[in-house]
Amino acid sequence: MRSVLSIDVANGKSEVLLITEYGEVLIEPYEVKHCLSEFNLLKEKIDNFNLNNLTIFMESTSTYHLPIQRFFTKNNYNVQVINPILGKNNTRNLRKTKTDIEDCYNLADLFFKNTVKIHTKTMNDIYSSMIELSRQEKHLTESLVRSKNRFKQIIANAFPEYLKCFTASDIYGETSLNFIKEFPHADIIKSKRIDALANNIYKSTKRYLPYSRCLNKAKKIKELANNSYPGIDVNSCEVKNLINIIEIISYSDTKLSEVKQDIIELAKQTPYFNIINSIYGVGETSTAQIIAELGDINRFENIKQLNAFCGLDPTIIQSGKSINYNGPISKRGNRNARKILFITCCSIIRSSVLHNVNNDLLLYYRKKQAENKHFKECIIACSTKLLRTIFAMCKNNSLYAQK
C-alpha cells in the first residue's frame, strides 16, 4: 500500500499530511516548524505506522524546502520535490480554495494520480553544486554592476575628466583603480609630480609596459586635472566613499573570478563540457554556465521538455477557429538559462561576423532578419536553435562539426 507525506512548504514552517492511497488519513494536517526537535517528532509519528512504501512529497519553494528535504533525505526516506507550477495546476475540486491544509490534500492527490514525472537526484550531486555557484556568480555580478555605477557617479564629482583617461574596458582595470585609489581627487593630482603619477601606473600594470608610455599617460592625466573643477571638495566624505567603492569593486571582481573558475572545474567533470565547448564561439565560462543551469541534460526525453524548462516554448493562442501555435515564448521556465543562452548567441554571432561567416547560427540569424523580425526575436529564435543543437549533441555524444 502506497502512502505519502505531503508537505506544503512556507518560510520557516510547513503544513504536513500523512495519507494512504485509499484516502485513510494517518496524520491530520498540522504545522511543523523547521527545527530539529519538530522534525524528529514528525519522524517518530511516521515510524509508528511502519509504512513500507512511503514517499515524502513537496514543492520546490525557493530555498524554504531545503531543511525539511535535507532532514528526510539524510534519514533515508524517498523524497520527491516537484516544480511548483505542477502543484498550482492541480486542484481536487472546482472551488477556488487556497489554504495550507487544502494544498496538502492537493499535493497528495497529485502524487497518487501518477501524472508527475519525477527526476531523482541527490542534494549533493555535482549539478546542485554548480547551480549554487551559478547563483553566487549572479549575485556577485549584480553587486559588481551596482558598485561600478556608483564609482562612475562619484568620480564624476571628484575628477570628471578621469573617464577620458582610460578606455571603457580599462576604467575598472587594476591600473586605473589603483591610481584613483591613491589619488582620489583632481586637486590631489594637481599637487603631485608627474614621475610620482607615472610610477603608480608602472607598478600597477601587470603586463609589460614601457615606462615612457606610463609617463605619457601621467602627463595626460595631469593636464586634465589642472583644468578640472570638481563638484566636491578634496576633504569631502565622498572622496573617502570613492576609496571604499574601489575596494569593493576589487574584492567583488576577485571573488567573481574565483567562482567562475570553480564552476568551470566542476563542469569539466561532467560528460557535457567538451561537447558544448566544441560549439564555435562558446567559451569555457559560457559552457560552465549553460551546464549549471540546464543540469543533467539526459533527464530530458525530448527537445520540447528542454524548451519548456528554459521557458522558450511558444504559447498557443486561440480565438474562435483561429489558432496561433507560434505565439510569444512562455517565459515560465528558468530565466537564468534563457539569459545565458541569449548572451551566448550574441557572442557567437559577433564572433562569426568577423571570423566565420558560414556559421549555422549566423546564417539562421540573417534569415530571421530577412523576415523583418525584431533583434530580440531573432536572438530568441537563435537561442532555441542553439538549445536544439546542444540537446542533439549531448544525446548523441558528438562534438560540433565546424564548417
- The tens digit of pLDDT for each residue in 227-283 reads 999 999 999 999 999 999 999 999 999 999 999 999 999 999 999 999 999 999 999
Question: Does 400 score more than 80 pLDDT?
Answer: yes
pLDDT in tens, 184-237: 999 999 999 999 999 999 988 877 778 888 999 999 999 999 999 999 999 999
CATH number assigned to the domain comprising residue 13: 3.30.420.40
CA distance 387 to 394: 11
Average confidence score pLDDT of the chain: 89
Q: Are residues 60 and 86 in the same domain?
A: yes
Stronger pLDDT, 25 or 330, i.e. the higher one: 25
State how many domains the chain has: 3
Q: Is residue 268 part of a domain?
A: no
Do residues 137 and 254 both lie within one domain?
A: yes
C-alpha cell at 44: 517518530
Which stretch of 96-105, 107-116, 290-299, 375-384 has the lowest confidence by average pLDDT? 96-105
For residue 284, tell me if it sits in a domain.
yes
Pair (71, 185) in one structural domain: no
What is the structure's pLDDT at 94? 42
In a domain, 124, yes or no: no
Which residue, 211, 238, 262, sits at the end of a domain?
Answer: 262
Last residue of a domain, one of 82, 113, 144: 113
In angstroms, the CA 358 to CA 181 distance is 47
Q: Are residues 217 and 179 in the same domain?
A: yes
Domain boundary residue, one of 210, 227, 262: 262
The predicted structure's pLDDT at residue 92: 54
pTM of structure: 0.79
Whole-number pLDDT of residue 363:
94
Q: Are residues 225 and 246 in the same domain?
A: yes
Give tens-digit pLDDT for 29-60: 999 999 999 999 999 999 999 998 999 999 88
Q: Are residues 224 and 104 in the same domain?
A: no
For 161, residues 6+ apart whose C-beta sits below 8 A from its C-beta are 186, 224, 225, 227, 228
- For residues 108 and 144, membership in a common domain is answered with no
One domain for residues 94 and 22:
yes
Indicate whether 142 and 109 sit together in one domain.
no
Supply the range of the domain harboring residue 57.
Answer: 2-113
Residue 122 placed within a domain:
no
For residues 277 and 253, membership in a common domain is answered with no
What value does the mean pLDDT take over residues 178-188?
94
